[in-house]
Amino acid sequence: MPTPADTLSPCAYLIGWQLDTPSGPTEGWTSYFTGNLYRYRDHRLREYHTSWDPAPFMPATASRRQPGVQEATQFVELLPAYIARDLRAMTADTLYTLSEPKETTLDGHPALCLEAVMDVRGERVRQASYWFDRDTHLPLRIDIESNPASITEQTITVNYASAPAADTPMGEEALLALYPEHFEKYRESNFRIENLRDTPLPTFTLPAVTGERYAYQRGEAFCAPTVVALLDPDTSFSSDIVRDLRAAIDSSTIPADIIWAVAGTNADRAEELVGQTRPGEHLLLNARSLARDCGASSLPVVIIAAPSGVVKNVLLGYNSDLSTVVLQSIALL
């Protein structure tokens, strides 16, 4: 999908791939749109957003050879918009020589053929042939030879199959609908805790000390304002946080719930830290994954979410006015 106004990529895209391996087929996909990139492979879903950190999207320069994540996607150079961009760059590069397009046929299909060769110090290092549909100018085939007639010669052939035009929706909601399991089980991010305010609490599923599992879906509403306390039982201030949060809830004129999310899998240590859970409280274990998805690099962290599930305040570490700040945050929801 061409995006002329986007300076980071000539098009939005969703690229899926599958590869047969000795252990069975493996698959992956990458989607980019308006400064957002999602990449799934090897049971990991990473995401990048210019609103969080624009650095991964910066193009290659003389001092920075690594291209932006949106340009480094596997197979992205085979997309029509990227082919057009690369051909325009070749015309401005003195190392390349491009032929005039000539009419021909490819497997009986009316086509235009374009040759591009790259010479460095009199040596042919790359030559490519492009065939395009004569009417639509969409690619039909590409042959690329690197280091031709040398011991390191490599040939790549790409054939394009015709397919009906499809208006693929771009956006996180569309990707969630296409790949629900990938988002639920394998989502990671380069999200930072500072960006969590005014965004929905991430999806998480954690074991409770009762032996059940507590599951929360991004965008799901809570029954009441909810305080999520991400705690490490090895941190000295954790017990103070438990005391002060309960004091804040007891003083609040607005009923609120608490989710105690404790790092580690030791239920005895978690229960020793939190004590007897009260109505409206949940004690969960193995909370490092939730901390990671919230962007927290260290614990403790206290998150105050509105009943809508949107995070309204984030408190890092511990200070003596925690109870007052939490009480005020709940009152402002």
For residues 274 and 290, what is the distance between their CA atoms, to the nearest angstrom?
18
Mean pLDDT for the chain overall: 90
Which of 176-190, 197-211, 286-300 is predicted with the least confidence, judged by mean pLDDT? 176-190
Spatial neighbors of 34 by CB under 8 A, at least 6 apart, are 3, 6, 12, 170
Question: What's the pLDDT at 186?
Answer: 78
Cβ atoms of 300 and 318 within 8 Å: the answer is yes
Question: What's the pLDDT at 70?
Answer: 94
- Is the predicted pLDDT of residue 208 greater than 70, yes or no? yes
The ranges of the chain annotated as CATH 2.50.20 are: 13-159
Tens digits of residue pLDDT in 99-153: 999 999 999 999 999 999 999 998 899 999 999 999 999 999 999 999 887 888 8
**pLDDT interval class at 303 (50, 70, 90):** very high
Tens digits of residue pLDDT in 160-195: 987 666 666 688 889 999 999 888 877 776 567 877
Kindly tell me the burial class for residue 10, based on how many C-beta atoms sit within 10 Å of its own C-beta (0-12, 13-18, 19 or more).
Answer: buried
Question: What's the pLDDT at 213?
Answer: 94
The ranges of the chain annotated as CATH 3.40.30.10 are: 191-331
For residues 319 and 114, what is the distance between their CA atoms, to the nearest angstrom?
68
Residue 297 or 208, more confident: 208
Question: What's the pLDDT at 247?
Answer: 97
Tens digits of residue pLDDT in 223-247: 999 999 999 998 889 999 999 999 9
Question: What's the pLDDT at 256?
Answer: 97
* Chain centroid to CA 256: 32
Which CATH architecture fits 191-331?
A: 3-Layer(aba) Sandwich (3.40)
Three-state secondary structure readout of 256-312: CEEEEEECCCCHHHHHHHHCCCCCCEEEECCCHHHHHHHCCCCCCEEEEECCCCEEE
Question: What's the pLDDT at 164?
Answer: 66
**pLDDT interval class at 67 (50, 70, 90):** confident
- Mean of pLDDT values over 74-93: 94
Question: What's the pLDDT at 56?
Answer: 87
**pLDDT interval class at 25 (50, 70, 90):** confident
Spatial neighbors of 211 by CB under 8 A, at least 6 apart, are none
Question: What's the pLDDT at 149?
Answer: 78
Question: What's the pLDDT at 148?
Answer: 85
Q: Which residue has the tokens 């990227």?
A: 82
**pLDDT interval class at 64 (50, 70, 90):** low
Which of 53-57, 115-119, 220-224 is predicted with the least confidence, judged by mean pLDDT? 53-57
13-159 CATH, one of 2.40.420, 2.40.30, 1.10.3470, 2.50.20: 2.50.20
DSSP 3-state of 329: helix
- Mean of pLDDT values over 275-283: 96
Question: What's the pLDDT at 193?
Answer: 82
Tens digits of residue pLDDT in 257-270: 999 999 999 999 99
Question: What's the pLDDT at 19?
Answer: 84
For residues 126 and 117, what is the distance between their CA atoms, to the nearest angstrom?
6
**pLDDT interval class at 284 (50, 70, 90):** very high
* Chain centroid to CA 245: 33
- Mean of pLDDT values over 71-95: 93
Residue 96 or 170, more confident: 96
Spatial neighbors of 140 by CB under 8 A, at least 6 apart, are 106, 109, 111, 131, 132, 133, 159, 160
Cβ atoms of 68 and 8 within 8 Å: the answer is yes
